[in-house]
Chain A
């Protein structure tokens, strides 16, 4: 496609070099001297997919424990030192990653490396029952705040549980269940660290106003003596058929402010051309204020308050296309669902018009410009492509692959995947505010996992 925003879209002048220490730690360096800042991203190849039955939430709880000190860092020292140096920091846990990142004023880069190395090499010297008990409570409150105490807050959890079968490594979301968080022990945490937090299971990306030789020397100095570990178990197999084969459906009667129709479609794996085509397809259908679903449901039919369709890219299992429609006023779900099905079928039958491709690809291109426009965003993408696909350089060409997708490929992936027999549907029907009679009487579903929430 010729409609690119810049001559060298999104990645024109960006380069990166790759290195590997003897202990297996992979390092990616990318120079950019426009602003005196440097981003560090340390991405461990472990996520909630490594968790076992009865221990959901362990990877994320463990991420919290990484901020509780290590051999040379006491208490909240990691936070205090980074913030005191004018840096910002955090960590995230997802299905197939746990990453830690610091963005620093360039002259404070060495501190971030020293801190990351200290906890990679010596976390167990500091990990104790007290911090485990405390962070368990913090994470339970995180779960309440982000999932249990907000309307539709558990929709994602329910949808994932429907879309990936029981026993599948992606059947549960990273936050985990309250019961499993309670059950996690210090021994579990220690074992998790030993298995997954080794230099040969991580990629370190450093991006920004750096001196590559000096940076490489620091990485050798601080990380070089940390022993590798060969005993990591590979993640359980996430292979599933391309198509679910039937519509899975759950109706929730809950105290929510509006009816909602949500659906998860099984989509191609991240890293494939079909996945890029799927992203363009979902953008045509459900991203922005001029998408097909927005125009149909919000502007014309006026049955919805909002309509979105997003892609959760996954490499170790089928990706997830997530439709989210909140109903307007008295609009009924069947009416909305019929309209959605018509729009999906239409895209499967006929390639989108050139103007629609231009719109979708321009939006996705801007997203890539934004993602690669900060040193932290660039470090994250370099790590992601290095860990999941073995090649960090793919980050710089990702936008080309999106712009290369044709209208016919969009049609083909829509026809293959956006079908009623390939989705898990979640319907929300509101019940009156705290009507004790409402809860049991409405019970078409036997989902009790949210008992604590009601």
Chain B
């Protein structure tokens, strides 16, 4: 360090300027004559408009033995309509410069459209066609089914995906839809055909139970007129929301190794059940979880990455799986820690991870950690919500999770008033050292013995 000749002029750390006000945008809520709920939000300068269509159809609606049919159905919506073939539809949409993604999750299905402002009417016209008059041609559904069957082994080869599948299977009873993959298994997908898809669509897709979220620079267009001429033409009968069964889970502390002989790393996913965002303790949970594993200066990475070099990064997070309106049942989330560590370091890394959890349980968080977390979580909001797509995504999450439209805006106020002790109690309760289900995707021959020695629960090995 003797040769580190520094010749620059140093200045003291600058103080911050005066913060400018920023608030999470409040959407304007309305409805079209056909019953479609519309949330709109003007974001000046955002030339790429984001449209989210939320279909209030949880995966529990899928018929017995046909897991994956909702995913196939929402993807088949854009594979040909009454007016054009699948190829023509895709080409016309892309001539608008648009992208359209579709997916189904435990809480509902979503279509996400992004398109430059000037081509919004054209793209919304196509989206309306897809929703209102999908062709569901036999051969297109067959193609999607086969494509999905091809995709499953590719997904499961990814250690992170494989770990997630195992955790759901461990946490939830086999009868619960949540215990099984969102997009189905090879066995269930193989049974899906066009007739089934048509029946599922007829039973569940209608404007009355759907919401459209439109975000972008809307100042120069008459959105009402555009919507009336497009999504307003989507018709359907009415139906109430589907009841969903309560969620139960088994978080008895245990370890499952998904054997991958020769793997150079162990993928770890450590989780259990938690509440949804309606829970009063949610802000404290978010804050505490950030302090545990939100960034590389959080508790976990400070040791596992920045001190020991065992990993490129380990994160703690919450993922909401069910979120009914408060008077219609209780919600659920998975609270988890995930990352990957080199095979040889698996035992020591897990030992350190548990030490971090135990230390947290005994000594709690410091005020400095809490302050840093609040400053980051609240401070990054204007950055995080710069694009129309990010605002639309969060508004759609709120719709899907039956949260009020000002939920995100209020969350920042709640975070700012959450104290250190509250945050610590929430994260300690979320990750109790003896009630965590640990999934390890890695080389069982090398990691089983060191993991058994940790004493964090029974160790079981399953095929890769």
Indicate, yes or no, whether A interacts with B. Answer: yes
Binding site for B on A (CB under 8 A): 5-6, 10, 32, 34-37, 71-72, 75-76, 79-81, 83-88, 103-111, 114, 117-118, 121-122, 124-125, 127-128, 133-142, 144-146, 148-151, 190, 209, 221-222, 224-227, 256-258, 288-290, 295, 298-299, 302, 305, 326, 328-329, 355, 358-359, 362-363, 365-366, 369-370, 373-375, 433-434, 452-454
CA distance A109 to B15 in the complex (A): 10
| Distance of A28 Cα from B353 Cα, bound (Å) | 44
26 pairs, CB–CB < 8 Å, chain A vs chain B: A5-B97, A5-B119, A6-B47, A34-B45, A36-B19, A72-B13, A76-B296, A76-B306, A80-B372, A83-B295, A110-B14, A124-B3, A124-B4, A136-B309, A137-B308, A141-B311, A151-B158, A290-B87, A298-B147, A328-B146, A329-B150, A366-B99, A369-B48, A370-B387, A434-B261, A434-B262
Asked whether any CB of chain A lies closer than 8 Å to the CB of B460, the reply is no
Which of B19, B296, B378 is close to A79, meaning CB atoms less than 8 Å apart? B296
A122 to chain B, nearest CB (A): 5
In the complex, which residue of chain B has the Cβ closest to the Cβ of A139?
A: B312
Determine the chain B residues whose CB is within 8 A of the CB of A146 once the complex forms.
312
A104: chain B residues at CB < 8 Å are 383
Chain B residue nearest to A108 in the complex (CB): B16
User: A138, B312: Cβ atoms under 8 Å?
Assistant: yes
Query: Nearest B residue to A112 by beta-carbon distance?
Result: B14
Contact B115 A36 (CB under 8 A): no
Assuming the A-B contacts A84-B372, A144-B340, are A258 and B153 also in contact, with contact meaning beta carbons closer than 8 angstroms in the complex?
Answer: yes
Which residues from A are CB-within-8-Å of B119?
A: 5, 362
Given contacts A127-B1, A289-B94, 4 further A-B contacts (CB under 8 A): A5-B116, A103-B383, A106-B20, A257-B154
Query: How many positions in chain B have a CB within 8 Å of any CB in the partner chain?
Result: 88
A366 near B20 with CB under 8 A, answer no
Residues of B close to A10: CB separation below 8 A: 47
Q: Are A305 and B150 in contact (CB under 8 A)?
A: yes
Contact B154 A150 (CB under 8 A): no
Shortest distance between the CB of B142 and any CB in chain A (Å): 9
Contact A302 B4 (CB under 8 A): no
Please pick, from A5, A72, A257, the residue contacting B118 in the complex, using a CB distance under 8 A: A5
User: Is the C-beta of B86 less than 8 angstroms from some C-beta in chain A?
Assistant: yes
Q: Which residues of A contact B112 (CB under 8 A)?
A: none
**Residues on the A chain within 8 Å of B280, using CB:** none
Contacts known (A141-B312, A329-B150); A79 close to B297, Cβ less than 8 A: yes
Given contacts A79-B295, A144-B342, A370-B48, contact A225 B9 (CB under 8 A): yes
CA distance A224 to B10 in the complex (A): 11
| Residues of the B chain whose Cβ atoms lie less than 8 Å from the Cβ of A328 | 146-147, 150
Q: Which of A6, A369, A433 has the most chain B CB within a 10 Å cutoff? A: A369
Instruction: Give a binary string over B1-23; 1 marks a CB under 8 Å from any A CB, 0 the rest.
Output: 10111111111011011111110
In the complex, A374 Cα to B210 Cα: how many Å? 30
| CB-CB contacts below 8 Å: B362-384 with A | 371-372, 375-376, 378-384
Q: Does B157 contact A (CB under 8 A)?
A: yes
Cα separation A125 to B46 with both chains bound (whole Å): 44
Q: Which partner residue on chain A sits nearest B96 by CB separation?
A: A362
The answer to whether A36 and B20 have CB atoms under 8 Å apart is yes
Q: In the bound complex, do residue B151 and residue A305 qualify as a contact, i.e. CB atoms below 8 Å apart?
A: yes
A366 vs B157: C-alpha distance in the bound complex, in angstroms? 33
Least Cβ–Cβ distance between B140 and chain A, in angstroms: 9
**How far apart sit A174 and B26, CA to CA, in the bound complex (Å)?**
44
Cβ-defined contact, A145 with B265, below 8 A: yes
Taking a contact as CB atoms closer than 8 A, the residue among B10, B18, B159, B387 that contacts A150 in the complex is B159
Q: How far is the CA of A358 from the CA of B93 in the complex (A)?
A: 11
Q: How far is the CA of A36 from the CA of B157 in the complex (A)?
A: 43
B contact residues around A125 at 8 Å (CB)? 1, 4, 6
Q: How far is the CA of A437 from the CA of B270 in the complex (A)?
A: 35
Chain B neighbourhood of A141, CB < 8 A: 265, 309-312, 340-342
User: How far does the alpha carbon of A215 sit from the alpha carbon of B464 in the complex, in Å?
Assistant: 55
Which residues on the A side are within 8 Å of B116 (C-beta)?
5-6, 362, 365-366, 369
Q: CA–CA, A76 to B94, complex, Å?
A: 44
B95 within 8 A of A: yes
User: Given A134-B307, A288-B90, are A433 and B464 neighbors across the interface (CB < 8 Å)?
Assistant: yes
Cβ contact of A72, chosen from B3, B10, B91, cutoff 8 A: B10
Chain B residues close to A by CB (< 8 Å): 1, 3-11, 13-14, 16-22, 44-48, 86-87, 90-91, 93-99, 114-119, 143, 146-147, 149-151, 153-154, 156-159, 261-265, 267, 295-297, 302, 305-312, 340-342, 371-372, 375-376, 378-384, 386-387, 464
Q: Which 6 residue pairs spanning A and B have beta carbons closest together?
A: A86-B379, A137-B309, A362-B97, A121-B8, A5-B116, A107-B17
Q: Bound state CA distance, A433 and B95, in angstroms?
A: 43
Cβ-defined contact, A302 with B146, below 8 A: yes
Chain A residues closer than 8 Å to B371, beta-carbon distance = 84
Q: Are B154 and A355 in contact (CB under 8 A)?
A: no
Q: A125-B1, A366-B115 are in contact. Are A85 and B375 (CB under 8 A)?
A: yes
Nearest A residue (CB) for B7: A227
Q: Which residue of A lies closest to B6 (CB)?
A: A122
Would you call A134 and B11 a contact (CB within 8 A)?
no
Measured between beta carbons, the chain B residues less than 8 angstroms from A32 are 45
In angstroms, Cα B311 to Cα A433, docked, is: 26
Would you call B340 and A149 a contact (CB within 8 A)?
A: yes
Asked if B382 and A71 make an inter-chain contact with CB atoms under 8 angstroms apart, the answer reads no
Instruction: Tell me, in angstroms, the Cα distance from A50 to B9 when the chains sit together.
Output: 29
Residues of A within 8 A of B98 (CB): 366
A321 to B270, CA, bound (A): 40
Contact A35 B146 (CB under 8 A): no
A359 and B96 CA atoms in complex are apart in Å by 7
Closest to A226 in B: B8
Residues of A within 8 A of B117 (CB): 5-6
Given contacts A5-B119, A221-B11, contact A452 B264 (CB under 8 A): yes
Query: A79-B296, A373-B387 in contact; A111/B16 too (CB < 8 A)?
Result: yes
Cβ A149 vs Cβ B263 within 8 A? yes
CA distance A120 to B95 in the complex (A): 45
Q: CA of A328 to CA of B372 in the docked complex: distance in angstroms?
A: 49
Q: Is the CB of B8 within 8 A of A288?
A: no
B380 touches A86 (CB 8 A): yes
Task: Write out the residue numbers on chain A whose beta carbons fall within 8 Å of the beta carbon of B261.
Answer: 434
- Contact check, B372 vs A83: say whether CB atoms are below 8 A apart: yes
Complex Cα gap A79–B372 (Å): 11
Q: Are A150's CB and B158's CB within 8 A?
A: yes
Please name all residues of chain A whose beta carbon is closer than 8 Å to the beta carbon of B306 when the two chains form the complex.
75-76, 134, 138
A107 contacts B18, C-beta separation under 8 Å: yes
Cβ contact within 8 Å between A114 and B264: no
- Least CB distance from A103 to B in Å reads 5
Chain A residues, Cβ within 8 Å of B372: 80, 83-84
Please pick, from A36, A76, A295, the residue contacting B87 in the complex, using a CB distance under 8 A.
A295
Could you tell me the distance between the alpha carbons of A109 and B311 in the complex, rounded to whole angstroms?
31
A202 CB to nearest chain B CB (Å): 14
Q: Tell me the nearest residue of chain A to B149, going by C-beta.
A: A329
| Complex Cα–Cα for A85 and B154 (A) | 41
Chain A residues in 8 Å Cβ range of B11: 114, 221-222
Q: B90 touching A289 by the CB < 8 A rule?
A: yes
**Contact across chains for B146 and A83 when beta carbons are under 8 A apart:** no
Residues of B within 8 A of A258 (CB): 150, 153-154
Shortest C-beta distance, B314 to chain A (Å), equals 11
Contact indicator B4/A257 (Cβ below 8 Å): no
Partner of A108, one of B17, B296, B302: B17
Given contacts A87-B379, A87-B383, A329-B146, contact A6 B118 (CB under 8 A): yes
Give Cα A365–Cα B47 distance, bound, in whole angstroms: 11
Assuming the A-B contacts A5-B118, A258-B154, are A454 and B383 also in contact, with contact meaning beta carbons closer than 8 angstroms in the complex?
no
Chain B CB within 10 Å — which of A81, A88, A128 has the most?
A88
Partner of B143 from the list A83, A299, A326, A454 (CB cut-off 8 Å) is: A299
Given contacts A105-B379, A145-B265, A365-B97, contact A374 B386 (CB under 8 A): yes
Q: How far is the CB of A365 from chain B (nearest CB, A)?
A: 6
Distance between Cα atoms of A6 and B119 in the complex (Å): 9
Q: Could you tell me the distance in whole angstroms from the C-beta of B294 to the nearest C-beta in chain A?
A: 9
Report B145 CB to chain A, min CB distance, Å: 11
